[in-house]
């Protein structure tokens, strides 16, 4: 796949690295081609940097891994998003993209893209290495578009996750962000450390 990644911090960088290793073409999108976070990602195979608009134009899939309030500017800079699959990996835990509850809801309202919430429920360390003693941890997703969900499942598996579990439709996206807050609470606020992850087990 051709994947645009907007937001080249910890999460965007981790996924860019994993997906490039699986042979996907990674198009980093930035406002400043000379001074952007994550220049070391250009050392990955299949990885190049473009303006946000050009990265989106070249790609079938767009990952958003920025602060939630940046979404309005990103939509303006991205150009034509019709028909794109957009993966919202943000968490509006502190500041929300008012008047929307989440970036997912903003994208669903303001674009004609196929939107899915995914890659928001764990720390970037678990995206770089989702293996715990030989067991691949789970990723989770939510949203109304089944095509976008199928893309999220494939990319979760390509990143090394054991499965990508469907949390439900768009009305469950806020719950998925609260699930992310549960990981933050355990790993950081309760001091268990960031080498902690979720795995659904069945009897």
Chain-centroid distance of CA 126 in Å reads 13
123 in any annotated domain:
yes
What confidence tier does 79 reach under pLDDT thresholds 50, 70, 90? Answer: very high
Cβ atoms < 10 Å from Cβ of 109: 10
**Residue 26 belongs to what domain range?**
2-189
What is the tens place of the pLDDT at every residue in 83-132? 999 999 999 988 999 999 999 999 999 999 999 999 999 999 999 999 99
Q: What angle do CA 2, 168, 155 make, to 5 degrees?
A: 20
Euclidean distance between CA atoms 116 and 136, whole angstroms: 22
Which CATH number fits the domain that encloses residue 64? 3.40.50.720
129 in any annotated domain:
yes
Chain-centroid distance of CA 35 in Å reads 22
201 in any annotated domain:
no
What is the tens place of the pLDDT at every residue in 127-185? 999 999 999 999 999 999 999 999 999 999 999 999 999 999 999 999 999 999 999 99
108 in any annotated domain:
yes
Query: Looking at the 3D structure of the chain, how many domains does it have?
Result: 1
Q: Using an 8 Å Cβ cutoff, are 102 and 180 in contact?
A: no
Euclidean distance between CA atoms 192 and 174, whole angstroms: 24
195 in any annotated domain:
no
Q: What is the largest CA-CA distance in the chain?
A: 53
Instruction: Give pLDDT, residue 178.
Output: 96
- Token look-up 């608009």 returns 53
Q: What angle do CA 104, 190, 136 make, to 5 degrees?
A: 60
Helices then strands, counting H and E runs in the chain, come out as: 7, 10
pTM of this structure = 0.96
138 in any annotated domain:
yes
């Amino acid at each position: 796949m051709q994947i645009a990644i907007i937001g080249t911090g910890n999460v965007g960088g981790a996924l860019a690295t994993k997906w490039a290793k699986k042979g996907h073409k990674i198009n980093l999108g930035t406002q400043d081609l000379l001074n952007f976070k994550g220049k070391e990602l250009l050392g990955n195979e299949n990885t190049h940097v473009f303006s946000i608009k050009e990265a989106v134009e070249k790609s079938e899939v767009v990952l958003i891994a920025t602060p939630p309030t940046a979404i309005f500017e990103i939509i303006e800079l991205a150009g034509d998003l019709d028909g794109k699959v957009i993966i919202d990996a943000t968490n509006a835990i502190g500041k929300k993209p008012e008047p929307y509850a989440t970036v997912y809801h903003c994208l669903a309202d303001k674009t004609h893209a196929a939107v899915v919430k995914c890659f928001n429920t764990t720390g970037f360390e678990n995206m770089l290495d989702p293996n715990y003693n030989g067991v691949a941890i789970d990723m989770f997703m939510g949203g109304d578009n089944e095509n976008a969900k199928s893309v999220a499942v494939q990319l979760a598996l390509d990143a090394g996750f054991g499965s990508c579990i469907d949390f439900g439709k768009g009305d469950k996206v806020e719950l998925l962000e609260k699930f992310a807050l549960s990981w933050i609470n355990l790993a950081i606020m309760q001091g268990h450390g960031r080498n902690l992850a979720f795995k659904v087990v069945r009897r």
